[in-house]
């Protein structure tokens, strides 16, 4: 995984939007 440049909040929102 490459998590550079992305926040946890962004990732949580991305998962929720799927």
User: Where do contacts with other proteins occur on this chain (CB under 8 A)?
Assistant: 1-3, 6-8, 11-12, 14-16, 18
Structure tokens at 9: 């909040």
Give me the least distance between CB of 9 and other proteins, in Å please: 9
Smallest gap from residue 5 Cβ to other proteins (A):
11
CB of 16 to other proteins, least distance (A): 6
CB half-sphere exposure, 4, CA atoms < 13 A:
1
Kindly state the tokens that stand for 4.
């550079």
């Amino acid at each position: 995984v490459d998590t550079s440049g992305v926040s946890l909040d962004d990732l949580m929102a991305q998962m929720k939007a799927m």
